[in-house]
Structure 1
């Protein structure tokens, strides 16, 4: 019988506690002031750490945003995947995954749009950027799985459709013309677009 893994030591617990404080402080300041107006010094002060320590966890404000948003995105994706299992209609299953991701991205519209820009154009060598890309890939996999289960669409076709769904969702969330749309309005718009795609 395998031994349980050792409990994390004090150093690891301290690192985790600092990370949690950083994420909480950055999330609050980004929400209140937006990414453009929140400074790394304000985040460090709110997290009760030095600015140098902050940059050990994320080397730029963009990486801090990715760190914060990735956590919310992962939770939204988890909710969407669970909700999709209860759906039997392909469009409903896909929208069950899409809806919480859109809602997560629209909590603060400009932050959400900045996050998407960083995901697409940011430095892929940075760990939080890689995590964002992984979450995007996991979203496509979840959509492909939902289509395979509800529409009996598998393999390359399911992957291609999921990639198109992801691209449509990304464009809708990042488009300047949509900045005034609420999350429910954007979800409805996406449902109409994806309904056309999935009806084929």
Structure 2
């Protein structure tokens, strides 16, 4: 069924808000832009903007969720392509686009992950982001269980550890000066140590 005029207007406003938020956040970072500036760029009243996202953090999450989802999609394809190289290389292939996504604009990426971890999980955009985080975790589980040497229960625990490694390595202040390649190399080393410890056990 074709959508009505009112729904089309709502969809158009949401798309304009998304485009404005994406552009301004990429240019200035979450701390360098206001909700009023985003509303002005989207050509909507500030009250209208608040109908779609009640805070600047929600606007950031709304924008970053799209990027995070695309990065996970890319990583899942890369992990499948790297399957013959073993669990470590498949895991690194999976997380590489995610790390690049989070570090594309460091302030935005750090704020996004912080909001997902510490924000209200019932808020719709955060809930969507948490679903994406769970999808990434399930992707890691799939990589670890692919060859049958690690059962699903253990793989789930290891996936939690690996995603925690990703979170710390991409957000900790001490690592901010590093290049993406350096961060990925460090993550690879940590995942290798986790898998080696499991193999030894």
Would the TM-score normalized by the shorter structure come out above 0.5?
A: yes
In the TM superposition, residue 184 of structure 1 has moved relative to its aligned partner by 1.8
Query: Per-residue deviation at 1:169?
Result: 0.5
2:156 to 144, 154, 159: 159
Q: Which runs of 5+ in 2 are unaligned?
A: none
In 2: Cα distance, 1:10 partner to 1:76 partner? 34
Residue 25 of structure 1: aligned partner: 20
Residues 37-186 of structure 1 mapped to structure 2, 5 A cutoff: 37-87=32-82, 88=84, 89-150=86-147, 152-186=149-183
Q: TM-score, normalised by structure 1?
A: 0.93
Is contact 1:63-1:128 (8 Å) kept? yes
CA distance 1:13–1:150, shift in 2 (3 Å) = farther
Structure 1: any 5+ residue segments left out of the alignment?
Answer: 1-5
- After superposition, the C-alpha distances for 1:83-113 in whole angstroms (9 at most, x for unaligned) are 1111221011111111000100011101111
Q: Please report how far the alpha carbon of residue 151 of structure 1 lies from its aligned counterpart in structure 2 after TM superposition.
A: 5.5
- CA drift of 1:189 comes to 1.2
Q: Which has the higher helix share?
A: 2
Q: Distance in 1 between matches of 2:192 and 2:168?
A: 16
The separation in 2 between residues aligned to 1:174 and 1:142, in whole angstroms, is 21
Q: Give the deviation of 1:183 after TM superposition.
A: 1.7
Give how far 1:192 is off: 1.2
TM-superposed deviation, 1:154 = 2.5
Cα 1:8–1:183 change in 2 (3 A) is farther
**CA separation in 1, counterparts of 2:5 and 2:150?**
50
Aligned residues: 195
- The 3 A distance-change label for structure 1 pair 25 and 198 is same
Tell me, in whole angstroms, the C-alpha distance in 1 between the residues paired with 2:53 and 2:147.
40
In the alignment, what sits opposite 1:34? 29
Provide the TM-score with structure 2 as the length reference.
0.93
